[in-house]
Amino acid sequence: MRPLPPRDLEEIRDRLGPLQADLAGARMLLTGCTGFFGPWLLEPLLAPKGPPGLRAWVLTRDPGGFRRRLPHLADHPSLTILEGDVRTFRNPGAPFTHLVHGAASSNSRRESQAPEAMEETIVEGTRRVLAEAAGVVRALFISSGAVYGPQPPDLERIPEDHPLPVLEPGYGAGKLKAERLCADAPFPVAIARGFAFLAPHLPLDAHFAAGQFLEATLAGRPIPVQGDGRPVRSYLYGTDLAWWLCTILLRGRPGRAYNVGSEVPVTIRQLAEAVAEGNPVSVARPPGPGPAPRYVPDTGRARSELGLAQTVDLAEAIGRTLAWHRQAAHPEAP
């Protein structure tokens, strides 16, 4: 995989500003960094103009996969790869100062096949990592908007104080139980509830509609929209994601949850048309009855308490992501 664009790294550094000084000399443990979030956190922190003296430890069950996917990070002198499972992790003797815990697969196929196992991995993994990271000064738990359950269709944006339901076993239930473990941790843990994102490193072959649309456009194919195209989502770009997560880690109130995402709604059909670059878009079914499902956060808490904002709109996010993939496929191109 190609490194993130220099422009993106510069934007993250500029947004973090003086917060980088808080991480000077930090010894950071990160779990769940083999997926989408990992590169957006690791690359800015390990960049030449990143926090001086920062060292990072990444826990992964598949070090070989990490090296294949992120070779430009795997051999970084300030990065140590730890092989292991979050449920059996043992501190290697490193006096960690910061923790970013996000290990949990959001694979919908795995959840449908074994929801109880997915939930158990999230909960027990969180319990173990919190115990083995005892002594850190700041921690971030990467949760999910899935903890809210289905968003009421008449609720335009869902806030953090929306009543949390009793969820069926699976990903959302596991994240919610893990949040409660974090609230009782013996050190400060802030919580980031992630929604939807569109940026480099988003998988093109998973269940994410945005990734599937990007893949079709990169291949020059028509975009098929499963369903009726009415569900409403919103998408945050990676530079904003990195800025938001680092800020919540360093400035978020312990035990407090912050929605992380865009407040700008877009239907799945509109997203497909925005990604398509003129290629045909086909919708599988005519519009169904009733209101369309929504998954859009209210980010007022992050804006008012932490000064966060969305700085890259959807059109720009799509353009940058397509350009990154095309440059990865043709590295000789300017």
Residue 102 reports pLDDT greater than 70: yes
Q: State the Cα–Cα distance between residues 320 and 117, nearest whole angstrom.
A: 37
Q: State the Cα–Cα distance between residues 3 and 331, nearest whole angstrom.
A: 11
Stretch among 31-45, 94-108, 186-200, 283-297 having the lowest mean pLDDT: 94-108
Q: 28 is in which domain, residue-wise?
A: 6-198+237-262+296-311
Is residue 117 situated within a structural domain? yes
Find the mean pLDDT for residues 68-78: 93
Find the mean pLDDT for residues 98-107: 80
325: its two tokens: 């993939």
Span 136-174, pLDDT tens digits: 999 999 999 999 999 998 999 999 999 999 999 999 999
| φ, ψ (nearest 5 deg) of residue 105 | -75, 135
- Residue 165 DSSP one-character state: P
What angle in degrees, to the nearest 10, is found between the helix axes of 171-183 and 115-132?
A: 20
Is residue 93 situated within a structural domain? yes
Q: What is the CATH number of the domain that holds 304?
A: 3.40.50.720
Is residue 144 situated within a structural domain? yes
Q: State the Cα–Cα distance between residues 294 and 158, nearest whole angstrom.
A: 9
Confidence of residue 109 (pLDDT cuts 50, 70, 90): low
- What's the 3-state SS for 195-216? CCECCCCCCCCCCCHHHHHHHH
Confidence of residue 264 (pLDDT cuts 50, 70, 90): very high
Task: Give the model's pLDDT for residue 114.
Answer: 85
Contact 102, 141 (CB under 8 A): yes
Is residue 166 situated within a structural domain? yes
Is residue 15 situated within a structural domain? yes
Per-chain mean pLDDT for the chain:
94
In the chain, the number of structural domains is: 1
| φ, ψ (nearest 5 deg) of residue 60 | -150, 145
Task: Give the model's pLDDT for residue 221.
Answer: 96
Higher pLDDT, 9 or 330: 9
Tell me whether strands 138-144 and 257-260 are parallel, antiparallel or unpaired: unpaired
Confidence of residue 206 (pLDDT cuts 50, 70, 90): confident
Find the mean pLDDT for residues 117-138: 94
Tell me whether strands 223-225 and 79-83 are parallel, antiparallel or unpaired: unpaired
Residue 125 reports pLDDT greater than 70: yes
Find the mean pLDDT for residues 240-251: 98
Find the mean pLDDT for residues 194-223: 96
Is residue 226 situated within a structural domain? no
Task: Give the model's pLDDT for residue 331.
Answer: 62
Task: Give the model's pLDDT for residue 220.
Answer: 96
Residues above pLDDT 70, as percent of the chain:
96
User: For the chain, what percentages of helix, strand and coil (3-state, to nearest 5) are there?
Assistant: 40, 15, 45
pTM (global) more than 0.75: yes
Is residue 281 situated within a structural domain? no
Contact 12, 240 (CB under 8 A): no
Find the mean pLDDT for residues 67-96: 94
Contact 260, 317 (CB under 8 A): no
Q: How far is CA 21 from CA 15, 17, 41, 254, 326, in A?
A: 13, 8, 16, 20, 35
Find the mean pLDDT for residues 105-123: 76
Stretch among 53-57, 90-94, 191-195, 310-314 having the lowest mean pLDDT: 90-94
Report the chain's terminal Cα–Cα distance, integer Å: 17
Q: State the Cα–Cα distance between residues 58 and 267, nearest whole angstrom.
A: 36
- Reference 311, options 227, 241, 249; nearest CA is 241
Task: Give the model's pLDDT for residue 330.
Answer: 65
Contact 13, 49 (CB under 8 A): yes
Is residue 324 situated within a structural domain? no
Q: How many CB atoms lie within 10 A of CB 133?
A: 22
Q: What is the total residue count of the chain?
A: 334
Task: Give the model's pLDDT for residue 34.
Answer: 77
Task: Give the model's pLDDT for residue 107.
Answer: 55
